[in-house]
Amino acid sequence: MSVLRAAIAQMNPVLGDMDENLRTHLQYIKEAKSKGVRLLLFPELSLSGYKLGADTINLAIRNNAQKIQELARHTENIHVIIGCVEEGTAAQFYNSSIVVADGEIEYVHRKLNLANYGRLDEGKYFGTGRYVETFHIDSQWKASVLICAVIDPFGKTLAIANGDSEQLLIADIDYAQVRLARFHLPTVRDSNLELVCREINRIADYNRIPPCRKTT
């Protein structure tokens, strides 16, 4: 069974300077590949910086923009998750994470639970995402993306930053351990679908995820 080496790029994006942030992304991707990382995660809005306000419209890009494709060209044998302001159809803007791997754009996730409390006013600038989907890393590993406070964190700590400096945090995730933990989930083993549905609805209501149904 495989071990997935995953990493987080703890970086401090330069607010509004996408060219400088692009260079930083490329440096982290190069470092991660040299250390055998197969899944690299960048922060929320890593290409633009976070508190954009009225500049949101000026820093919005399509999910197939040149900067995304430039990053994708450096993703041989690695999945990279990039944060950006995505411009969708009809001039709608999203706080998005884009997954690129092996030169291709594989998946786009749009933030579900926009932060609208305290001094945060994401709902003023961003549309709300509607779906959570998954993407394959290999035949055993499948992943998804959630941005910020969409679900309460759980599990154990796999990596701890050495102070507040910019750095690459690496963790090895053993599929055998994940498999065993998955087997012992009572809601899965006992096929208690009523409990599963109740918990999903509770979490969705708590996080104000809008009701939706996707058809294919």
What string of DSSP letters covers 81-93?
EEEEEEE-GGG-E
The 10s digit of each residue's pLDDT in 120-179 is: 899 999 999 998 899 999 999 999 999 987 766 667 788 888 888 999 999 999 999 888
Distances (CA, A) of 23 to 48, 52, 55: 12, 20, 21
Q: Coil, strand or helix: which one is 28?
A: helix
Each residue of 97-124: pLDDT tens digit?
A: 999 999 999 999 999 999 988 888 999 9
Three-class secondary structure of residue 35 per DSSP? coil
Is 212 catalytic? The answer is no
Out of 42-46, 49-53, 141-145, 205-209, least confident range: 205-209
Dihedral over alpha carbons 56, 7, 185, 181 (to 10 degrees) = 180
Q: How confident is the model at residue 212 (pLDDT cuts 50, 70, 90)?
A: low
- Which amino acid is present at 153? P
> What are the chain's domains?
3-174 (3.60.110.10)
CA distances from 90 to 68, 94, 99, 127 (A): 21, 12, 23, 11
Query: Tell me, what's the pLDDT at 216?
Result: 39
Tell me which residue has tokens 């599963």.
196
Specify whether 199 is catalytic. Answer: no
Out of 148, 156, 194, 214, the active site residue is: 148
pLDDT at position 184, please?
Answer: 77
Q: Are 46 and 83 in contact (CB under 8 A)?
A: yes
Question: Measuring CA to CA, which residue among 134, 112, 120 is closest to residue 203?
Answer: 112
Nearest-Å Rg of the Cα atoms of the chain is: 18
Catalytic, out of 111, 142, 166, 214: 111
Does 44 participate in catalysis according to the annotation?
yes
Share of the chain above pLDDT 90, in %: 67
* List 31, 44, 67, 106, catalytic entry: 44
Question: Is 61 strand, coil or helix?
Answer: strand
Q: Which residues contact 187 (CB under 8 A, 6 or more apart)?
A: 195, 196, 199
